[in-house]
């Protein structure tokens, strides 16, 4: 089975005489995700290098559709087959099911015909017959309204129930609707003194632009040249609160993959940044640390940047002294690991990996990070705590626990902001500015 799944991604299961494009690549991606629940970002890294930009984009769009709508598609397939099909065939059905959801009733005949023809090459003629029979019934089921919000918007029941308690039914529906929409690509323009290309559309947020569809190659080129950085406008919230100043010494305590470190450096232009993040376990690689190094290399020439691999919670001032690093800082940013409930439109598989107990686990870790960071702030300095969560347990409740502890004594909360996607029009985030008085 493992060999079959791998082959599905690399060759699409088609013989060499058949063209291998985005649709076939999406089948391979969906097959591996269904079989092994691999992370979406890791699967996309394995797309065949020969795919053109257009076909690569199509593969991602179809695959994202399957992951985003997985339980709605499973609901539509339930009871339509006497026994489960091969994983590859299920991937074909799920991709075609997403196309039906996307295209509506006018697309039914075209989608079914296309899926059947593709199934003949990526699967078999016999299985193509199964696809034909199942898809006709599935189309009718997908036209129905599911019995509950969790199925209608393809989210875990426990998560929808949690949001209902926190936000109420009306707001929960708005959040679910938001999460199910494909996310625009935003970039932050770094060369503020230079003209912005026409394919970047201005937004209401300074220096943030939306990318015109089909311009990904240009974006990659400009990113490589250091002109822009792919980044959601919500990231500005914690940086605005941090308010980096030229010449300061700043610690980014949870730095990988480095987008916020680079943002800080761009604001400072001169000064020093210590970018710290947890080391990778022996024998493992972490693409986030690779990207952190790449991003730090693009910092303005006037900013001295040091990358340190360490767990903030497990090191003391002696550690910093031994590395000839500052033992206290003008400002510290703790952009803490969290549930990612504010960024589910971008991180589409998070909802399937998240567990109810994760919120308490994250909150405990977040409080530990805040305690560790507090020891490193100069008197009169600033500490910014931020998450990409919309959940109070990871935001306000963590701050309350911090101020109830001894570590919170020297600090006062100067300002906070909580962004909600359905209100603010970008990813959700919480950010809190604490000032140390003494």
Cα→Cα distances 177→2, 97, 291, 343, Å? 36, 19, 31, 13
Residue 346: its H or E element: none
Query: Are 341 and 334 within 8 A, CB to CB?
Result: no
Q: How large is the greatest C-alpha to C-alpha distance in the chain, in angstroms?
A: 75
Of 238, 254, 338, 388, catalytic: 388
Other CB atoms within a 10 A radius of the CB of residue 309 amount to 15
Other CB atoms within a 10 A radius of the CB of residue 419 amount to 20
The 3-state DSSP class for residue 250 equals: strand
Handedness of CA 260, 261, 266, 269 (dihedral sign): positive
Backbone Cα Rg of the chain: 24
Residue entry with tokens 């490589």: 224
Other CB atoms within a 10 A radius of the CB of residue 73 amount to 25
Distance CA 316, CA 427 (A): 34
Distance CA 100, CA 103 (A): 5
Residue 107 gets which letter from DSSP?
G
388 labelled catalytic: yes
Catalytically annotated residues: 388
């Amino acid at each position: 089975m493992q060999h079959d799944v791998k082959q599905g991604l690399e060759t699409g299961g088609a013989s060499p005489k058949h063209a291998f494009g985005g649709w076939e690549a999406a089948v391979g991606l969906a097959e591996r995700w269904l079989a092994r629940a691999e992370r979406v970002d890791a699967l996309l890294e394995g797309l065949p290098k020969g795919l053109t930009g257009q076909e690569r984009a199509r593969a991602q769009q179809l695959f994202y559709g399957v992951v985003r709508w997985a339980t709605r598609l499973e609901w539509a397939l339930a009871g339509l087959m006497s026994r489960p099909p091969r994983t590859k065939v299920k991937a074909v059905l799920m991709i075609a099911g997403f196309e039906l959801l996307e295209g509506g009733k006018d697309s039914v005949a075209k989608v079914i015909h296309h899926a059947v023809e593709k199934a003949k090459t990526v699967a078999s003629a016999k299985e193509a017959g199964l696809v034909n029979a199942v898809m006709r019934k599935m189309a009718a089921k997908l036209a129905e309204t599911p019995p509950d919000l969790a199925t209608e918007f393809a989210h875990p029941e426990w998560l929808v129930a949690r949001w209902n308690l926190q936000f109420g039914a009306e707001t929960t529906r708005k959040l679910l609707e938001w999460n199910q929409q494909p996310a625009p690509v935003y970039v932050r323009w770094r060369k503020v003194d230079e003209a912005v290309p026409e394919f970047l559309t201005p937004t209401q947020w300074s220096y943030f632009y939306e990318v015109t569809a089909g311009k990904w190659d240009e974006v990659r080129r400009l990113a490589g040249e250091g002109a822009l950085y792919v980044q959601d406008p919500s990231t500005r919230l914690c940086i605005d609160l941090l308010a980096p100043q030229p010449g300061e010494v700043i610690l980014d305590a949870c730095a990988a993959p480095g987008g916020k470190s680079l943002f800080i450096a761009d604001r400072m232009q001169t000064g020093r940044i210590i970018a710290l993040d947890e080391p990778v376990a022996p024998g493992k690689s972490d693409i986030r640390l690779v990207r952190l190094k790449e991003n730090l290399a693009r910092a303005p020439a006037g900013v001295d940047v040091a990358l340190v691999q360490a767990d903030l919670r497990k090191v003391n001032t002696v550690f910093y002294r031994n590395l000839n690093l500052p033992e206290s800082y003008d400002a510290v940013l703790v952009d803490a690991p969290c549930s990612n409930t504010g960024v589910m439109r971008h991180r589409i598989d998070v909802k399937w990996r998240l567990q109810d107990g994760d919120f308490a686990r994250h909150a405990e870790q977040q409080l530990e990070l805040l305690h560790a960071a507090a020891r490193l702030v100069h008197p009169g300095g600033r500490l910014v705590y931020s998450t990409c969560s919309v959940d109070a347990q990871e935001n306000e409740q963590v701050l309350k626990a911090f101020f109830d502890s001894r570590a919170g004594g020297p600090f006062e909360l100067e300002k906070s902001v909580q962004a909600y996607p359905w209100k603010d029009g970008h990813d959700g985030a919480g950010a809190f500015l604490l000032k140390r008085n003494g």
